[in-house]
Chain A
Amino acid sequence: MSKHLTMEELDAQELKAAAKITAVRVYEAPLRIWHWVNAFAILTLCLSGYFIGSPLPTQPGEASANYLMGYIRFAHFAAAMVFTVGFIGRMYWAMVGNHHARQLFILPFWSGHWWAEVFRELRWYLFIEKEPKKYVGHNPLAQLAMFFFIVLGSLFMIATGMALYGEGLMQDHWIAKLFGWVIPLFGQSQDVHTWHHMGMWIFIVFTMIHIYVAVREDIMSRQSIVSTMISGVRTFKDDRLD
C-alpha cells in the first residue's frame, strides 16, 4: 500500500502519526522495582525449592567439607523473605501509589461491564475478535489472572512456606505462632509440603503464560507491554479511542 512512497515521505507520515500517539505514565518506580525483584525471587524460589524436594546427587568427601543442601535451603529462605517483604511493600504501595497500583488487589467482581470485557479479551485470545481494546492498566483478563495467581497465590505460598519455616524455629518463635495454625489445617507437615510444592508448579505455569502473553501483546496488541514494566510508560500504536 505504501510501496510507492519515498523514504522521506514515509518518515514524515510516521512522524505525523506519532504526534498524536499518546503515552501514559502507568507504573511508578517502586512498583516496577517490586516487579523485577519479585521475578528474581520467584526464579530463585522455584529453582531452590525444586532441589529441596529432589536434591542434587550426593556430594563426595567429608560432611564437614560440604554444605550444598544448606546453601540451597539458605537461598530458598532468603528469597522467601525478599518475596514476603516485597509483597508487604506491594500491598503498602497499593494504598499510597496511583490507582493502577490498586488494580491487582481489587476485582470489580460485580461489574457486568467488566465481565463482558473479560470475555471480549478471551475471544481475542481465541482468535475470534479482530483486535483487542486499549487499556491503560491491565486488561480485565490479565487483572483476573493476576489476582488469582499473584495475590492469592503469593498469600498461599507465604502462609504455607512460613508455616514450614516456623517448624524449624519451634513454637515459641513469632513466625511459628503467626503461621503454625496452617499445619493442622492441612493435616500434618507432609501435607503442607505437598501443597507448597504444588504451589511452585502453579507459579511456574503462571510465569510461562505471563511471559508468552506479555511478548505476544507487545507485538499484537495496540499498546506497549514489555517496555512499560521497564520505563513505566504505556504507549499506544494508534489514536483511536478504545
Chain B
Amino acid sequence: MGMTETFYDVMRRQGITRRSFLKYCALTASALGLGPEFVPQIAHAMETKPRTPVLWLHGLECTCCSESFIRSAHPLAKDVVLSMISLDYDDTLMAAAGHQAEAILEEVMTKYKGNYILAVEGNPPLNQDGMSCIIGGKPFLEQLKHVAKDAKAIISWGSCASFGCVQAARPNPTKATPVHEVIFDKPIIRVPGCPPIAEVMTGVITYMLTFDRIPPLDRMGRPLMFYSQRIHDKCYRRPHFDAGQFVETFDDESARKGYCLYKVGCKGPTTYNACSTIRWNEGVSFPIQAGHGCIGCSEDGFWDKGSWYARLTDIHQFGIEANADKIGGAVAAGVGGAIAVHAAVSALKRAQHKGE
C-alpha cells in the first residue's frame, strides 16, 4: 500500500507543527500514566507506523459519547486526535452521507482488512428483528456484525455498548443488548460511562494506536488505567466520609459545607471511573464537586440500581418502597412475633402438663 500514510504525515498535512506534535506526545504519555522515557517512543511510533483507521458505528444511543469525545481537552482532540485517528466513518462527524458514506465503510474494510479498530457507540436492539435501530436500511445488528468481522479490536464506547444503559433498563422493550453479548470472536475493550470522560476516550484510543495493543483490562474488560479505582477512593470529600460527616438533605448546613453525599445516595463507593481525578470539561468539575452524588453511570444497570438519592438499593420484587433494611426488618419483626407466640404456647403447654 504505497499510499499508506503515517500518523505524523497526517498530522503535518493537517497543519500541525512538529512542536505541537511533540507536546501532544508528552501530554499523551502523562495522560496514560507513562514516564518521560515513553515520549520519544510515542513520537517514534507516530512517525513510522501507518495510521490505523477507526470506524465509529452508532447503534441505539444518544450521541453523548461523541459529544464528550469532541470536547477532549487533554490530548488535544480537536487538533490532533481527530485528525490522527482518522475517523473514516462516523456518521455523526463525517461530511459524507447516504450511499457515499456507506461506500467509505466498505472501502476501509477491504483496504485495512483485519487492521482497523471498530468503535461502537450504542448497542443493537434484538427484539422486533432489530427494527428499533435501522442504519442504511438494515438493522444495526447486521452492520455491527459485518464491520466487526474484519476488525482488529472493538471498543465499546459508553454504558450503552458496554452494559446496555437506559435502553436496556427494565423492562428493556427493544431488548437492547451490549456489544459483547452479540460479538464473541474479537477482543472488546469496554469504556463505560454515560458518557465516558473525553480524556479517557482519547487516552484509550491513543494507547491502542501508539502501542499497537490493547491496554491492560480488568475483569469487566475496562482499561485499568482509568477504571481501576472507584470514584470514592479518590474523592476530595472522602475525609468527610471517614469522619462521619454527611449531607442529610440537599439544603442543609452540611450540604453548604461540602460534606460527603453518601447518605443522599452517592454511588461513588461502587462506581469505577476516573471522574474524581480527571474530572470533566478540562478538569473544571465533576458531579460530586457540583454538590450532587454520583449516579454510578459507568456501572452495569445503573438505571435499575436506584434510587439515586438513597444509599440502599430499592428491591422492587418486594414493592416500590422496599430496600434491604425494610425487607430484613419486616422479616425480623415477623420472626420476633412468631417467637413470642411460640414461647407463649410453649409456656401454656408446659403449665398444662405440670401436674402429670
Residue ranges of A at the interface with B (Cβ–Cβ < 8 Å): 1, 50, 53-59, 63-70, 72, 125, 127, 167-168, 170-171, 180-181, 183-184, 187-191, 193-194, 197-198, 200-202, 204-205, 208-209, 212, 216, 219-220
A55 to B248 alpha-carbon distance, docked (Å) = 10
Contacts of A59 in B (CB 8 A): 243-245
- Contact string against A for B residues 282-326, beta-carbon threshold 8 Å, 1 for contact and 0 otherwise: 000000000000001001111001000001110100000000110
The answer to whether A66 and B243 touch across the interface, beta carbons within 8 angstroms, is yes
What distance in Å separates the Cβ of A226 from its nearest Cβ neighbour in chain B?
15
The 7 nearest A-B residue pairs measured at CB: A201-B328, A68-B244, A66-B243, A189-B270, A197-B324, A69-B244, A63-B239
A209, B335: Cβ atoms under 8 Å? yes
Q: Are B242 and A208 in contact (CB under 8 A)?
A: no
Q: Is the CB of A212 within 8 A of B311?
A: no
Residues 325-351 of chain B, each 1 if its beta carbon lies under 8 Å from chain A, else 0: 101110110011001001101100110
With A and B bound together, what is the CA distance between A69 and B238 in angstroms? 11
Determine if A205 and B300 form an interchain contact, defined as CB atoms under 8 angstroms apart.
Answer: no
Residue of A nearest to B348 (CB): A127
Q: Once the chains bind, are B270 and A188 in contact (CB under 8 Å)?
A: yes
- A69 and B312 contact, CB distance less than 8 A: no
Residue of A nearest to B259 (CB): A58
Secondary structure at chain A's binding surface: helix, strand, loop or mixed? Answer: helix
Q: How far is the CA of A58 from the CA of B254 in the complex (A)?
A: 8
Complex partner residue of B299 from A190, A201, A209, CB under 8 angstroms: A190
Flag whether B224 is at the interface (Cβ < 8 A).
yes
Query: Do residues A69 and B243 form an inter-chain contact, with CB atoms below 8 A?
Result: yes
A170 with B350: CB separation less than 8 A: no
Q: Which residues of A contact B300 (CB under 8 A)?
A: 187-188
Q: With an 8 A cutoff between CB atoms, is B175 at the interface?
A: no
> A208 — nearest CB in chain B belongs to which residue?
B335
The stretch of B28-36, B48-56, B69-77, B225-233 in contact with A is B225-233
CB atoms of B248 and A167 under 8 A apart: no
Q: Is the CB of A53 within 8 A of B324?
A: yes
Which partner residue on chain B sits nearest A125 by CB separation? B342
Q: Enumerate chain A residues within 8 angstroms of B243, measured Cβ to Cβ.
A: 59, 63-70
Can you show 18 pairs from A to B with CB atoms below 8 A apart?
A55-B244, A58-B248, A63-B239, A68-B244, A69-B242, A72-B244, A170-B229, A171-B219, A189-B269, A189-B299, A194-B315, A197-B312, A201-B329, A205-B331, A209-B335, A209-B339, A212-B342, A216-B346
Chain A nearest Cβ from B252, distance in angstroms: 9
B58 within 8 A of A: no
Contact between A55 and B219, CB atoms less than 8 A apart? no
In contact, A53 and B312 (Cβ under 8 angstroms): yes
Given known pairs A58-B244, A188-B299, A201-B324, the reply for A208 and B332 (CB within 8 Å) is yes
- Bound-state Cα–Cα, A68 to B242, Å: 7
> Is B140 engaged at the interface, CB distance under 8 Å to the other chain?
no
- Of A64, A65, A127, A194, which one neighbours B312 at CB under 8 angstroms? A194
